Structure 1
Amino acid sequence: MLPTLFYMLEQSDHGTVTKIETNSEIWFAYRFMALGACIEGFKAIIRQVISIDATHLKAKTRGVLLVTVWKDGNEMIYPLTFGFAHSECTESWTWFLNQL
């Protein structure tokens, strides 16, 4: 269902960028999503610093949620991109930051 969700996001929110990478067993290895509205907001008010972080997911599928955010002109946290990976490791971060 995730490819369908990503397709619908790209169709309804122009400028949205998504990417799914699978491993050899056809399981999702990495997922990346940047909503078009967030990208446009970032282009309109670019700040010099983007923060990155990850949090471990406790659901049945486990893994980690990788996030980039920045502060807008009102000092409010503004999301930019989201990614999902199997673990927080150099390979996951490298893939995520290359998508960014």
Structure 2
Amino acid sequence: MLEQSNPETITKIETDSPNRFTYGFMALGACVEGFNTVIRSVITIDATHLKVKTLGVLLVSVCKDGNEMIYPLAFGFINYECTKSRTWFLKRLREVILYPEHMMIVSD
């Protein structure tokens, strides 16, 4: 429904064999369009652990606009933080960036 009501929005969901949630990705179309046209090509990615029944990790990728304000680009929801899940998120992020060869990504 998010993709239907927001043009150019990209969402991906991945599940494991018993059809349980593993990874999720969301990039709102307006944010992607703005990033690909006028925003600086430096992306910062950070993660925070969710303190709910299912646990998991929220990944957030942001950059700065021309006024030095934080500009959201994409969000990821993963079951736990590891190389495989971060790689999955980065691959989805690369799909929304028009010129990935000109990007700089900063992460912890």
TM-score (norm 2): 0.83
Report Cα offsets for 1:42-62 as digits up to 9, x if no partner. Answer: 122131310001000001110
Task: From 50, 75, 90, give the equivalent of 1:82.
Answer: 75
**1:1-100 superposed matches below 5 A:** 8-100=1-93
Matched residue SS, 1:58: coil
CA distance in 1 between partners of 2:6 and 2:40 (Å): 23
Mapped to 1, the partners of 2:41 and 2:77 lie a distance apart of 25
Q: Deviation per CA, 1:62-87, whole angstroms, max 9, x where unpaired?
A: 00001110000000001000010011
**Gapped runs of 5+ residues in structure 2?**
94-108
Task: Report the secondary structure of 1:50's partner residue.
Answer: strand
Q: CA RMSD in A?
A: 0.8
Q: Greater RCO between the two (CA within 8 Å, min separation 6)?
A: 2
The CA distance in 2 between the partners of 1:31 and 1:74, in whole Å, is: 30
> 2: distance between equivalents of 1:28 and 1:65?
14
| Overall identity of the aligned pairs, in % | 70
Assess if the C-alpha contact under 8 Å between 2:39 and 2:66 holds in 1: no
Paired with 1:14 and 1:32, the residues of 2 have a C-alpha distance of 16
Runs of 4+ in 1 over 4 A off after TM superposition: none
Count of residues in Structure 1 that have an aligned counterpart in Structure 2: 93
Structure 1 spans left out of the alignment, 5+ residues: 1-7
Q: What's the TM-score once normalised by structure 1's chain length?
A: 0.90
Give the Å deviation of 1:40: 1.2
